[in-house]
Structure 1
C-alpha cells in the first residue's frame, strides 16, 4: 500500500513538473513573460512593471477610443432629448387659441349694440405679446361655428385648437341690465369663457398656455374697466350702479372651463414617467427568457429543434410574457384607484375622470400596454441579437431617449425634425392612454395600428437578427480558437 501511494505521488509530481512551462534564461519561471500573471503561485506585480508596458499602451489606447466613442454617442443621443425643447418660444404660435365673439349675435340679444365683444376682439387684434406669451391668438367669426358656443368647445375637444376664449352672446346685455336696473346678482365672470383641455397635455397647458392666458387677459380686463368707467361717467341714467359695484369694477371677467381635468395625480406615471419602465421591462425580459430558449437551442439530451419551430416558440413565448407583464403593469394603476369604470362624457361638457370605454376601459388599457410592450420589446430583442453586449445597452439608451423625447412633450412645440416621433411606439401608447383614462379625442385605431405595425415588422426581422447573432457568435468562436 505504501509503495503504491509513493508511486502515485511521484507520478503526480512528475506530471506537475511537465506542466510547468520552461522559462528562458534569466526569466523567473513562476511568471508569464507576456501577461505577468504566471501560475497560481506567481507573485503579483505592479501595474507599472516593465513587463506590462505593451499591455498598458494597448489598454490606454482602447480606453481612449472607448471613452471617445461613448462621448460622441452621449452628445448625439442626448441632443435629441434636449433639442425637443430648444425652439419652444419660436414655435409658441403653433399653440392655437381661438377668440370667438358671440356678443349680441343671436336673438334675443341681437337688438343690443355690443360693447364687450368688439372691445376684446379689438384688443387681441392689436396685441403685441411678449415672447413667452406669443401663442397663436386667432380671431374666429361666430358664424364659422353657426353662432353656437358649444361648437367652439367641441373644436377644443377635438384638438383643432389648444384653447378658446368665448365672449357670450348676452355679455353686453347682462352688463347693461346690471347698471341700469341694479341687478345685485350680476356675475362678471358670465361675460366670457376660457375653454381648455388639461388632459390633452397637462405639461404644455400649465407651463405655457395658462400663464400666457393670464398675462394677456388681466391687462384686457384692466383696459376695459377704464373705458367702461368713462362711459358710465358720461351716462347720468346709470345711478343704480351703486347697487351693483361689481358691474363697475371689474365689470367683466372670465369663467375657466376645463373640459377634461387631469385627475387623479396618480395618473401621471400612466402617461409619462411610468412608461419608461415599460420599455425597460420589455428590454430585460429578453435576458430572463434567453436561458429558457437555450434549453431548445443547445441539443443536450435531445435532437436539434427545427429552426422555424424554434422561431415560433421564441416569438410566442415573448408575446405571452408581454401579455402577463402588461397585466401586472396595468394592475398598478388600478390598485392606486385610477378610475376605469366611469362613463364617457359629451365632448362639449367639462367632466371629471370620464373613461372612453366605460366599464371596459381597463381591458382596453391592458391591451394597449400589451401591444405596446410588443412594439417596444420585440425591436429590443432583435437589436440585442444583432449587436450583442455591450452595444445592446447603447441601443436601450437610444430607444428610451427617442421614445421619451417624442412622447412626453407636445410635438407642436418641437421642430419639424421630430415629426417622426408620431410613429414611435411610446407616442401612441401615451395618446391611447389619455383617451382611455380621460376620454380625450380618440385616435385609438391609429394608436393600435402603429403598435401592431411595429410588432409585425419586428417579427419579420426576427429570423435575420437570429442569423446575424449566430454568425457573430461563430466568428467569435473561431477567433478565440486562433
Structure 2
C-alpha cells in the first residue's frame, strides 16, 4: 500500500513537473539563455575551426602537386654506340632522341625532371638502369640501346625486312610503386615525348640518308625509314588487378575505423572486472595488462578477417618472387607465405592505429574522441595515399605515420616492389611501444575524470 502510494506520488510529481514547464523565453531563463547560447556558439566555432584545420591538412597535401612535379625524376641514358662491339660507329639515334626529348621537356613549364645520365654511372649495363628504377632512385628511365644506330644502319645496307624499330630504345617504369602518380603524370608525359621523338626522328633520318648518297629507297624496309625508331615500354611491376586498389588505398580507411571502434565495444566488458558489485575490483595494474593483451588478440582476429577480403576477391598471394630487372605482374614478395606476412602487417598496423586512438579516447572522452578519429583518418590518408615528394616539406612527418608504412609494406607484399618491410614494421612497432608506455597514463587520467564526475 505504501509502495503504491509512493509510486502514485512520483507519478503525480511528474505530472506536476510537466504542467510546470516554462516557455523558452520565460523570465526564469534570463541570463541562463545567454549562457546556453554562448556555449552553443563556442562549440560551433570550435567545430568550424577544427573542420578548417583538419580538412586543410588533406587539401594541403595536394595543393603543390603541379608545382612539385619536378621532383619526379626521369633519367635518359644513352648507350648508343658506346659499348663494344658497337663503339666503332658514330651514334645517330642516341644524340638525336636525347636532344629532342630534352628540348621538348624544357619547354613544358612545371613538368617532370628529365636528367641525362652517362652509361658509366651504371657500369655500362642497361640492366643496372632497370635495377635503379626498381630501387626507386628514379621514377622512370629512357634507355637508348647500344646497338640502336648499328641495327638501323644494317637494315638499310642489307635491306633487312625483319628490322624492328622497337629495338632502338626502352622506357622503364614501375607503376605499382604509385599507380595514381604514374597514370596521371608520368605515363602521359612519357607518351607525349615518345610521340615527339617518333615524329621528329623519321624526317631527320631520311635527310641524313639523302646527304650520305642514298637515292634508291625502293628496296629499303619502310619501317627503317619512318619512324625508323620505337620504344619498348617495360613496366617492371604493373599495378593490378583493379580489385587490389582498396588494399593499398581507400580500403585502409576501414582499418583505422575498425581499430578505433574496438574500444567503445569492449570497454563495457572490461568494466565488468572493476564495477561489478559481485566481486571486488581487479587491481589497476592487472587491468592494464588484461586490456592490452585482449586488445592485441582482438587486433589479431579482426586483422585476419580484414585480410581475408582481398584473398576472397582473388588478389594473388601465392606467386613467386621475381628478379627486380624483369617485368612481373603480382610478383608476391614472399611467395606462398605472402598472405601470412600481409596479415601480420595488418595486425601490427591495426595495433599502431588502434592503441593511440584508445589512449586519446580515454583522455578526451565523448564527444571529443570523435574529433580525434576525424583527425587520425585525415592525417593518415593525406600521408598514406599520396606521394609525399609532391607535397610541401611540412608533410615530411608523414613518413613515420602508420598508414604510410602500411601502404608501402602492402605494395611490397602484393606487387613485389622495392622492399622497406623492415622499416615499415619498425615504425609501426615504434607507435605500439610509445602507446603502451602512455597507456597507464591515459588509464589513470580516465580514472581521475571518473572520480571527479562521481564527486
* TM-score normalised by L of structure 1: 0.90
Matched, 1:430 2:423: no
Matched, 1:109 2:86: yes
**1:305-335 alpha-carbon deviations (Å, 9 max, x no partner):** 1111110000000110000000000011110
Kindly state the Cα deviation for residue 379 of structure 1 after the two structures are TM-superposed: 0.3
The equivalent residue for 1:288 is 265
Matches within 5 A, 1:186-335: 186-237=163-214, 239-240=216-217, 242-335=219-312
Query: Is residue 260–residue 440 contact of structure 1 (8 Å, CA) maintained in 2?
Result: yes
* Structure-2 separation of matches of 1:260 and 1:367: 23
Q: Secondary structure at the match of 1:351?
A: coil
The equivalent residue for 2:64 is 87
Q: Secondary structure at the match of 1:399?
A: helix
The equivalent residue for 2:107 is 129
Kindly state the Cα deviation for residue 124 of structure 1 after the two structures are TM-superposed: 4.0
The equivalent residue for 2:335 is 358
* TM-score normalised by L of structure 2: 0.95
Q: Secondary structure at the match of 1:284?
A: helix
Query: Is residue 274–residue 280 contact of structure 2 (8 Å, CA) maintained in 1?
Result: no
Matches within 5 A, 1:334-345: 334-345=311-322
Query: Is residue 261–residue 353 contact of structure 1 (8 Å, CA) maintained in 2?
Result: yes
* Structure-1 separation of matches of 2:27 and 2:309: 59
Matched, 1:16 2:27: no
Q: Which moved further from structure 2: 153-162 or 212-221? A: 212-221
Closer, same or farther: CA 129–15 of 1 in aligned 2, 3 Å? same
Query: Is residue 406–residue 418 contact of structure 1 (8 Å, CA) maintained in 2?
Result: yes
The equivalent residue for 1:33 is none
Q: Which moved further from structure 2: 142-151 or 244-253? A: 244-253
* Structure-2 separation of matches of 1:88 and 1:14: 70
Query: Is residue 260–residue 373 contact of structure 2 (8 Å, CA) maintained in 1?
Result: yes
The equivalent residue for 1:178 is 155
* Structure-1 separation of matches of 2:305 and 2:401: 23
* Structure-2 separation of matches of 1:120 and 1:343: 37
**1:234-284 alpha-carbon deviations (Å, 9 max, x no partner):** 333363465411112111121110000011111100000000000000000
Kindly state the Cα deviation for residue 46 of structure 1 after the two structures are TM-superposed: 4.5
- Structure 1 unmatched ranges of 5 or more: 21-29, 31-37
Query: Is residue 182–residue 241 contact of structure 1 (8 Å, CA) maintained in 2?
Result: no
Matched, 1:455 2:432: yes
Q: Over alpha carbons, which structure has the higher Rg?
A: 1
Corresponding residue to 1:413 among 380, 390, 396: 390
**1:215-244 alpha-carbon deviations (Å, 9 max, x no partner):** 223223222222112112333336346541
**1:97-129 alpha-carbon deviations (Å, 9 max, x no partner):** 000001011122112211010112223444423
* Structure-2 separation of matches of 1:15 and 1:41: 15
**1:427-467 alpha-carbon deviations (Å, 9 max, x no partner):** 10001000000011000000001111111110110000011
* Structure-1 separation of matches of 2:59 and 2:10: 64
* Structure-1 separation of matches of 2:228 and 2:18: 95
The equivalent residue for 2:381 is 404
Query: Is residue 192–residue 254 contact of structure 1 (8 Å, CA) maintained in 2?
Result: yes
Q: Secondary structure at the match of 1:138?
A: strand
Kindly state the Cα deviation for residue 91 of structure 1 after the two structures are TM-superposed: 1.5
* Structure-2 separation of matches of 1:63 and 1:41: 25
Corresponding residue to 2:127 among 150, 154, 175: 150
Q: Which moved further from structure 2: 404-413 or 230-239? A: 230-239
Q: Secondary structure at the match of 1:98?
A: strand
Closer, same or farther: CA 54–101 of 1 in aligned 2, 3 Å? same
* Structure-1 separation of matches of 2:100 and 2:45: 56
Pairs aligned (count): 454
- Structure 2 unmatched ranges of 5 or more: none
